[in-house]
Amino acid sequence: MAFERVGVVGLGTMGAGIAEVFARAGLRVIGVEADAEALARGRGHLERSTGKAVDKGRLAPEQRDEILGRITLTTSREDLRDVDLVVEAIPEILDYKISLFKDLDRICEPGTVLATNTSSLSVTAIAAATGRPGRVVGMHFFNPAPVMKLVEVVGTVVTEPGVVADVTALAGRLGKTAVAVGDRAGFVVNRLLLPYLNHAAALMELGVAGRDDIDAAMRLGVGLPMGPFGLLDLIGLDTAYEVMGVLFDETRDRRHAPSPLLRELVTAGLLGRKSGRGFYGESGAYDGGAPHREQARSRLGTFKVVGYEDEGDGLAERLRAAGFKPSEDPDVVLCLADRPVIEHAVRLPDPARMVGVHLVGEQVAELASTALTSERAATAARDLMKIVGLTPVPCKDRAGFVVDALLFPFLNDAVRMYDAGYASIEDIDAAMRLGCGYPAGPFEMLESFGLARVRDGLRALYTEYREPAFAPASLLDQLVTADVSEFPRR
Ligand code: 3HC
């Protein structure tokens, strides 16, 4: 089936982005909002987004006029009577969606495909409320819709043969890659992404590290386009909270219980970019009460590097090259480690001087303070890292520090998702690369880190936090035992 005329209901950030995507691909779009005020807001989103593209020289003014000219805005759903496809992007409240779909079912031709952009609600429940459940699918775009290249196409047990293929072909015409998935809470991306974001909020609440440090670690250390708190602000804290709630209802996994911090911020109206204020924001932000970072410079003195091998142009060499003296009675003992360092610290004459150092990628040094580390040693370690060009990420001396603690459970979840037969390795990797701009998918990351390192890191996390979901997935464990370094591809 070819789709030429489409309707988009709901012109918030996502709906307006989706309407723009269709219009850019040459389709005629009817955008529907509830009232004149909401319609004006939707028009504003469209004009700003295409206007920015013109300012950047990515779009000629006449092209922008053509794109906007393909979009008709209305407050009447009845105007959708002749479209081939409707995509719904209204708030994530099942009752609202069901009532809308009943209406669309009455208004649109029987052959029209009705799609929901729901992040997590049951597509089956929405489909079942209509007289055409076989022609109702999920079409899940990613924020910002004009930029992110993924669409998850969600079929249900009652979807008619061919409909998923037609919508997949349409996604291709829009310049997107489609991944066809079944109707499970969170589909592929949100099922993997949101627990990771929720976990970041939990680590901040536990005081393992502060907002800026966690964000910097994930951006600069792992190469993600945004840190978890910046991304939560983009997605919307209310949306994240709702998705977590739906995930928890389906899995009863306590890691999926929405972080109390998210609830508090949502209740306080700190929703992220959409309300101008969330974890970040010009009109105030929430940083978890982390101590102010720019403290007085330490009186940098002598150092000693211990721990795992540090040869060649390693940390000790870089510090020496920067003019610092190694000493047997140093001001700060930098213990290179990927595990908590308290056991090493207590063997020193003065444990207060030890700081754990975990280098992540080329740019980040996680700096673990134990319960005994002095403020002076922690500050000195931070300043030394800056001098050798590394971004310091101060954190508590806990298993996985920041990056491994956030990343490894996410990788473990991806293995479990594959092992459960929900999606292929290729689809999971593509979904995270294209939907979230990850530099590599979870299986690609697992293979580049080394399966054994991730398995061992998960065991350490499990031992520390006693969280059942941190226990390595059986498949991962088996591959490591069999000394296999790659996942079996199709
Ligand atoms: N609308 C349209 N275009 C936009 C845009 C927007 N809101 N934001 C950015 N862009 C465009 C810019 O114009 C620019 O285009 P150009 O290269 O043609 O000039 C391009 O995107 C890159 O933008 P910038 O250079 O300004 O900014 P960055 O390089 O920092 O990229 C980003 C911004 C694309 C948002 C990048 O940070 C990113 O990929 N972040 C991850 C976003 C993500 O994970 N999204 C998925 C969230 S999960 C989700 O949506 C599911 C839901 O159900 C919860």
Please tell me the predicted confidence (pLDDT) of residue 181: 96
What is the distance in A from the centroid of ligand 1 to the CA of 395?
29
Residue type, 425: I
Please tell me the predicted confidence (pLDDT) of residue 5: 97
* DSSP H helix total and E strand total for the chain: 19, 13
Is the pLDDT at 293 greater than 60? The verdict is no
Out of 85-94, 213-222, 315-324, least confident range: 315-324
Catalytic residue among 92, 152, 242, 366: 152
Q: What is the rounded CA–CA span in Å between residue 328 and residue 238?
A: 53
What is the distance in A from the centroid of ligand 1 to the CA of 144?
5
Question: Residue of the nearest CA to atom 23 in ligand 1?
Answer: 147
CA-closest candidate to residue 342, choices 216, 459, 464 = 464
Concatenating the DSSP letter of every residue in 22-48 gives: HHHTT-EEEEE-SSHHHHHHHHHHHHH
Kindly give the pairing relationship between strand 85-88 and strand 113-116.
Answer: parallel
Greater model confidence, 191 or 313: 191
Q: How far, in Å, are 2, 83, 265, 306 from residue 111 at the CA level?
A: 12, 10, 43, 69
Question: Residue of the nearest CA to atom 22 in ligand 1?
Answer: 147
CA-closest candidate to residue 141, choices 171, 173, 104 = 171
Question: Residue of the nearest CA to atom 43 in ligand 1?
Answer: 436
pLDDT in tens, 40-82: 999 999 999 999 999 999 999 999 999 999 999 999 999 999 9
Q: What is the rounded CA–CA span in Å between residue 305 and residue 311?
A: 11
The question of whether 250 is a catalytic residue gets the answer no
Concatenating the DSSP letter of every residue in 362-417 gives: TTEEEEEE-TT--HHHHHHHHHHHHHTT-EEEEEES-TTTTHHHHHHHHHHHHHHH
At CA 188, angle to CA 276 and CA 466, rounded to 5? 85
The question of whether 152 is a catalytic residue gets the answer yes
pLDDT in tens, 170-212: 999 999 999 999 999 999 999 999 999 999 999 999 999 999 9
The question of whether 190 is a catalytic residue gets the answer yes
Question: Residue of the nearest CA to atom 19 in ligand 1?
Answer: 56
The question of whether 143 is a catalytic residue gets the answer no
Confidence category of residue 296, pLDDT binned at 50, 70, 90: low
303 pairs with which residues across the strands? Answer: 326, 332
- 303-307, strands of its sheet edge to edge: 303-307, 332-336, 354-360, 364-369, 391-396
User: 285 is written with which tokens?
Assistant: 């932000």
Is the pLDDT at 354 greater than 80? The verdict is yes
Kindly give the pairing relationship between strand 71-74 and strand 364-369.
Answer: unpaired
Confidence category of residue 286, pLDDT binned at 50, 70, 90: confident
Confidence category of residue 457, pLDDT binned at 50, 70, 90: very high
Sign of CA dihedral 440, 443, 444, 446: positive
What is the distance in A from the centroid of ligand 1 to the CA of 236?
14
Is the pLDDT at 297 greater than 70? The verdict is no
Mean pLDDT (the chain) is 94
CA-closest candidate to residue 126, choices 117, 431, 376, 27 = 117
Prior bond to 340 cis, omega within 30?
no
- Mean per-residue pLDDT, 233-249: 95
Burial class of 61 by CB neighbour count within 10 A (0 to 12, 13 to 18, 19+): exposed
**What domains are defined for the chain?**
5-181 (3.40.50.720), 187-285+400-408+425-467 (1.10.1040.50), 293-388 (3.40.50.720)
Sign of CA dihedral 413, 419, 420, 424: positive
Q: How far, in Å, are 154, 180, 182 from residue 422 at the CA level?
A: 12, 10, 7
Count the Cβ atoms, other than its own, within 10 Å of residue 128.
Answer: 14
- Mean per-residue pLDDT, 425-444: 98
Residue type, 270: L
**Ligand 1 probe mutation, 92, 147, 192, 197, most atoms within 8 A of CB:** 147
Residue found by looking up tokens 């602000």 in the block? 233
3 state DSSP class of 134: helix
Please tell me the predicted confidence (pLDDT) of residue 13: 92
Report whether residue 49 contacts ligand 1, using a CB cutoff of 6 Å.
Answer: yes
Confidence category of residue 295, pLDDT binned at 50, 70, 90: low
pLDDT in tens, 76-112: 999 999 999 999 999 999 999 999 999 999 999 999 9
Catalytic residue among 117, 122, 143, 190: 190
Is the pLDDT at 366 greater than 80? The verdict is yes
Percent residues over pLDDT 70 in the chain: 96
Q: What is the rounded CA–CA span in Å between residue 419 and residue 446?
A: 15
3 state DSSP class of 450: coil
Residue 179: phi and psi, rounded to 5, are -120, 120
Query: Cα-Cα-Cα-Cα dihedral of 163, 413, 147, 427, to 10°?
Result: -40
What is the distance in A from the centroid of ligand 1 to the CA of 221?
20
Is the pLDDT at 309 greater than 80? The verdict is no
Global pTM? 0.94
What is the distance in A from the centroid of ligand 1 to the CA of 107?
35
Is the pLDDT at 312 greater than 60? The verdict is no
- 85-88, strands of its sheet edge to edge: 71-74, 28-32, 5-9, 85-88, 113-116, 136-140, 150-154, 177-181
